[in-house]
Amino acid sequence: MWMLALVPTEILQLFVHGVVGLAAVLFVASFFFGVYKPFIRVAAVVVALFGIYFEGGYMTEKEWRARVEALEAKVKVAEEKSAEVNTVIEKQYVDRVKVIKETANANIQYVDRVVAKYDNLCTVSNAAVLLHDSASRNEVARSTIGLDEGTSSLKISDILSTVTDNYSTYYQVREQVLGWQQWYKEQKKIFESVK
């Protein structure tokens, strides 16, 4: 029966009905051949049994093919909806990241315009720089004798620009994660509707 899946529908239908038709022809022919009548009728019954078996297999195959076509149509609709959702989510993500980048640029301009004036009034200790660098690597700050004493040559405006840039990166990554979560929920909803 597995071979039925490999045969095109028209040929399969012709073959199955042909076997049943052959059984009918053999049965009618048995009336005209007196001596061979029992053999022809046995052959007709055997061919009829094969024909009935093939008819059942054909009907099952036809039903499965119809189900597959229906599911393929549903999947196609789901894929189209999926593509639409992808476009919407991507646009939302791009728009939100654009706003985040614009905000970061505005804050960095503020640092350059306002905070930079106070660079020579504000000193940053080496300990603060060491702590910041350790925190950026998710490590505990280790005190090194002599290194964490005194003031750093870094300007407060440079530090604030870096921090602003880091926060901007954080919010961009956050938007990416939120976008992936939204994408997953929408895709799951779409493809669960196919069942």
Domain boundaries, the chain: 2-119+155-192, 120-154
| Closest of 169, 165, 172, 173 to residue 111, by C-alpha | 165
pLDDT 10s digits, 16-26: 788 888 888 88
Share of the chain above pLDDT 90, in %: 44
pLDDT of residue 107: 95
| Closest of 174, 195, 192, 172 to residue 184, by C-alpha | 192
Residue 1 has pLDDT above 60, yes or no: no
Rounded (10°) angle between helices 37-113 and 9-29: 170
| Closest of 148, 150, 166 to residue 158, by C-alpha | 166
pLDDT 10s digits, 132-150: 888 888 888 876 665 667 7
Q: Are 23 and 51 contacting, i.e. CB atoms less than 8 angstroms apart?
A: yes
pLDDT 10s digits, 26-56: 888 888 887 888 888 888 889 889 888 888 8
Band (123; pLDDT cuts 50, 70, 90)? confident
pLDDT of residue 112: 93
pLDDT of residue 69: 92
